[in-house]
Amino acid sequence: MRESIIVKAPAKINLTLDVTGKRNDGYHEVEMIMTTIDLSDRIGLISLEEDKINIDVNQGFIPSNENNLAYQAAKVIKDYTGSKKGVSVFIDKQIPVSAGLAGGSTDAAAVLRGLNELWNLGLTLEELAELGLKIGSDVPFCVHGGTAVARGRGEKLEFLPAPPPCWVVLVKPPMSVSTKDIYSRIDLNNMKHPDTPGMINAINQGAFPDVCQKLENVMEEVTFNMHPQVAKIKQRMLQFGADGSVMSGSGPTVFGLTQSEARAERLYHGLKGFMEEVYVVRILGTKHG
Ligand code: ATP
């Protein structure tokens, strides 16, 4: 039997993000289109005989106790299956933290997928996604990966084909935003909603210009008001030649799309001139195994 495994945990971006209401349980009702990108944490899992969960992260400011979502994932799957095995989880963090890229959620999802394989648990991705929802609203999507419309709290998934291949240029400004804070400032009665059916159509047709045109996120206005610097990044992204640009999740990461490698390079160098954290990656967009 295998004793260790390495799992890739890709970040997600939001092509659209809409908030359609507030529920009685305190959560917001969302409708958002997410896709995975080739910017990934690497999660190493080593099975232990002793019944314990160790977390080791290569970044000091991320918790290595039960507050780490990877820890919670190991705990949830152990409780569900009654396994008395232990695990050491090593997180090689490459995804910016508190950035709107679901870094913690994708680590949790990778632990669920990885332990399922390492311990031969035989759970389906659907079961893992259900377990993931106990940890966070984005975890079910991260369990499956790919491209999907997420509704409800984010757990009702309708899968779509991968978007047209393109470069994704991301800028993470040096600040973090609290998702909770952004949600609390959204004015549900006075907002312009994204054209979600239009984006679904654009993805189904593989129409890159339409995908770029339909990028929209209702949280932008709130985050831009609080941090005008983030709005400026989007402005520059478009000035430097991105075919479309939008903020991901509650931010503050802003990304731009282009199909031209030369333009992606130009964007990288232009943005690097005034921002420390700039990444150029590809869309992945297809589901895990
Ligand atoms: P989302 O896009 O789902 O809103 P995010 O990308 O904005 O998430 P994360 O990177 O997931 O935010 O981090 C949010 C918080 O979660 C941070 O305060 C961080 O300390 C905590 N956290 C817990 N576990 C992890 C993990 N494995 N990786 C990163 N952050 C984690």
Structure confidence by residue, pLDDT tens digits, 216-257: 999 999 999 999 999 999 999 999 999 999 999 999 999 999
Q: Decide if domain 167-282 falls under CATH 3.30.70.890.
A: yes
Nearest CA to 75 out of 115, 106, 118, 124 is that of 115
**Averaged pLDDT for residues 195-210:** 98
Give ranges for CATH 3.30.230.10 in the chain: 4-160
Provide mean pLDDT across the span 179-184: 88
89 alpha-carbon distance from chain centroid: 20
Q: How confident is the model at residue 1 (pLDDT cuts 50, 70, 90)?
A: low
Compute the distance between CA of residue 237 and CA of residue 257 in angstroms, rounded to an integer: 9
pLDDT at residue 187 in the model: 87
Question: Cα(99) to centroid of ligand 1, in Å?
Answer: 8
State which ligand 1 atom lies nearest to the alpha carbon of 97: 10
Q: What letter does residue 107 receive in the DSSP assignment?
A: H
Distance CA 138, CA 91 (A): 19
Positions marked active-site: 12, 138
- CA–CA dist 135, 76 (Å, integer): 8
Residues 6+ apart with CB under 8 A from 104: 68, 69, 70, 97, 136
Pocket test for ligand 1, best of 40, 61, 98 (most atoms within 8 A of CB): 98
CATH of 4-160, one of 3.30.230.10, 3.40.50.300, 3.20.20.70, 3.40.50.2300: 3.30.230.10
- Give the model confidence (pLDDT) of 5-53 as tens digits: 999 999 999 999 999 988 888 888 999 999 999 999 999 999 999 999 9
Amino acid at 244: G
**pLDDT tens digit string along 102-129?**
999 999 999 999 999 999 999 999 999 9
Ligand 1 lining (C-beta closer than 6 Å): 62-63, 67-70, 91, 97-105, 107, 138, 179, 249-250
Cβ atoms of 31 and 151 within 8 Å: the answer is yes
**Portions of the chain given CATH number 3.30.70.890:** 167-282
Phi/psi region, residue 82 (left: phi>0; alpha: psi -120 to 50; beta: rest), is left
Distance from residue 198's CA to the centre of ligand 1 (Å): 30
pTM of the predicted protein model: 0.96
